[in-house]
Amino acid sequence: MQESPQTASKAPAAERCRRDRAESVLAAVFLINSTGTALFLSVSTLYFTRVVGFSAARLGLGLSLAALLGLAAAVPAGAAVDRLGAGRMLILAHIWRAVAFCAYLLVHSFAAFVVTAALIAVADRAAPPASQALLAELVPASRRVSVLARLRVWENVGFTVGLAGSALAVWQGSVSAYRVLILGNAASFLIVAVLVATLSGSAVPERRPQGAFAALRTLAGSDRPYLYLTALNGVLALNASLFAIGVPLWILTWTPLPRWCVPAVMLLNTVLVVLCQVRAARGADTLRSHGRLLLRSGAALGLALVLLGLSQGASTLVCALLLLVSVAVLTFGEMWHSVGGWGVSLELAPEQARGRYLAVFGLGIGAQEVVGPAVAALLVAQGRAGLIVAAAVLLAAGAGADAVVRALPERAAPTPVEAAAESG
């Protein structure tokens, strides 16, 4: 019996409706998640130093220890994504986060703080590969990078909303206000878990995958280019610490600019990402194009640091102009890096081991989160010479990543017919 034209026409429409709904839910997930994260980050240092009583050095040590433990759990967490399914693992990670952030309110000792922070770090390492793997299940290959770019825009919007919403609590400075914001972050994870549960595409894999470390040995032996890209992407990810730590330190240490320039450049970065992230992802539809974006990212980041270094010893007006231009260029480098990194990590990860591959790729970024702040501070302390060294390293990392990608066999972009079928 042949399918009627009416029935055939309904299938693409239904698929398009399902896809649009999934993308809308993912946008809400990123928005709510980043809003809650911003609520917590705005008060976390104040809460643990003023309320719990930790010194800044002790707080930093505890967070570093927790980050190292989380990094060690990254590959097993990726294996769990392949075993349980991306959706189930993401739900579990968010519920885990919600409970652990509530536990922060019960912390009164350094040991309890490290244990709680480590539990959160483990969930933080499990969530990114799970969310990317879920997106790969729900979104056609031709749309993944563009959808990820839109999700990053919503992520930045949520972060801005969270910071704005926490301003009153920070200004008031009461213990109750701090605790409300911490609970608000925990609640955001529960809301996100419910939203993820409404999505399809999170079935448990039928085939039992390799164990975490067996998979890592296999990857190291047969897919070294992926490991090279992991390391080079981790170097490019230093842009996060150089912007969040390095630029404020540079302004306060090496320029005559007023302190309000620090939040001003943070706002400029956020606005540029919201306005330009989707545009930065255009044309990134092949493996080679993702490699070129990583090259472009390294060049832009290097140029930004050189421009920033030129502000040392300059007049106030010249410093201000160089700062604005360097932050704008750095932001474009950041956007090209995120798009290129998404592309190569998803494109080269085999479907049956996607969680483990993405978790391994996240090791480079995780290592940057551990050592990046100290590296950024050390480089800025050296003045212009430190920034020039950083610029050379980032340019080399971008060029190296592009060279690794070009050495791989190209994977063809979807043909117009395939792209039309995927987009419904």
Kindly report, residue by residue over 236-290, the tens digit of the pLDDT. 999 999 998 899 999 989 999 998 888 889 889 989 999 999 888 887 888 899 9
Angstrom distance (rounded) from CA 338 to CA 307: 22
pLDDT of residue 43: 87
- Cα distances (angstroms) measured from residue 29 to each of 157, 198, 342: 12, 11, 18
**What is the rounded average pLDDT for all residues in the chain?**
86
> Does the domain at residues 17-200 carry the CATH identifier 3.40.50.300?
no
Between 325 and 125, whose confidence is greater?
Answer: 325
Which ranges in 173-260 belong to alpha helices (H)? 175-197, 212-222, 224-236, 238-241, 247-254
Confidence of residue 77 (pLDDT cuts 50, 70, 90): confident
Angstrom distance (rounded) from CA 137 to CA 140: 8
**Do the domains at 17-200 and 214-413 have one common CATH topology?**
yes
List Cβ neighbours of 95 (8 Å cut-off, separation of 6 or more).
Answer: 189, 190, 193
* Segment 129-139 mean pLDDT: 88
**Topology given in CATH for the domain delimited by 214-413:** Growth Hormone; Chain: A; (1.20.1250)
Q: What is the DSSP letter of 140?
A: -
Two structure tokens written together for 115: 């244990």
* Segment 384-410 mean pLDDT: 95
Domain ranges of the chain: 17-200, 214-413
**Phi, psi (5° rounding) for residue 101?**
-70, -35
Kindly report, residue by residue over 301-315, the tens digit of the pLDDT. 999 999 999 999 999
Contact assessment for residue 45 and residue 59, using Cβ atoms and an 8 Å cutoff: yes
Kindly report, residue by residue over 88-132, the tens digit of the pLDDT. 999 999 999 999 999 999 999 999 999 999 999 999 989 989 988
